[in-house]
Amino acid sequence: MTAKRSAVSLAAIAAMSILLSCSSGPSGPEMGTPAFYWQSAREVYAAGDYMKTIQHLDNLLTTDNEYTARALPWVLVLKSGLAAGYMDAAENYQVGARNNKTDPGAFRGQVTAYRNSAAQLALQFAEDFGKLDKLKGDTVKLEFAYPRGNAAPVAQFTKVSTGIALTPPEMESAQRTALERGVLLATCRAAGAANDTARTQETLKPGSATVPRATFMTAMADSLYEFSQLYVRDKLDDPQKMGALLQRAQGALAGVPESKESKELNRKIDAALKKMKK
């Protein structure tokens, strides 16, 4: 009886092995290769994990490979969007600190945390921006799908700005919404459709889009200018970093044909540089 059961078990195992070998499809890219990081970036991006997406894209940018030119514009959009999301959160908590008379310190702590997160991403963004010279041609490819999120202001920040503290789950939700919104709006600017989510969604409908280089550079210069404002005297107070970001923004616009947007942005950059010298 025992021998029969053993024979049956062996037959079952053999059959299972055959089924598994038949059902297994082609293996994915080898771990650690550029193809692996690119595929992983696309997978976690679809799941809404932008920080992990950045990690995979950063791995691609450490070497020159077949995905570098595709990864660079994407990582710039993500880092600028996330930094903007943290800045938005910080601004709302700063207003809340003024309106909360019982415990403004808790709000100020969040302001500091959010600004530090924004600054870290902003400096990474500025460093990556310097690599754009490697991308030749008059166009830039955005090889990623339309992001999740909503362009409307974060609803929970209405409470925050009036000085009402959020519960931990509310705070987590508000931060996630702010970051998704930041990435969405950064994508719109990069696609040449600032604040126009419907147009951007249509543009990225195929999963990628080609935009004029001047459009992309103007959007990046705008982000550099915005990030420079993190370092004004009543925020992080670092004139050296502020000046470096402003100069990089100015340099980005130097090779861009003049438009209404670039002219206005150059005016703001010049005003900020002059103010620093006073």
Q: What is the pLDDT of residues 50-85, one digit of tens each?
A: 999 999 999 999 999 999 999 999 999 999 999 999
Measured CA to CA in angstroms, residue 252 lies from 38, 132, 222, 248 at distances of 27, 10, 9, 6
Tell me the mean pLDDT in the region 180-191: 98
Give the pTM.
0.89
pLDDT(22) > 80: no
**Spatial contact of 276 and 237, defined as CB atoms under 8 Å apart:** no
Q: Which of 158, 133, 223, 136 is nearest to 187 (CA)?
A: 223
pLDDT(25) > 60: no
Instruction: Give me the amino acid identity at 181.
Output: R
Measured CA to CA in angstroms, residue 39 lies from 52, 142, 204, 261 at distances of 12, 16, 18, 35
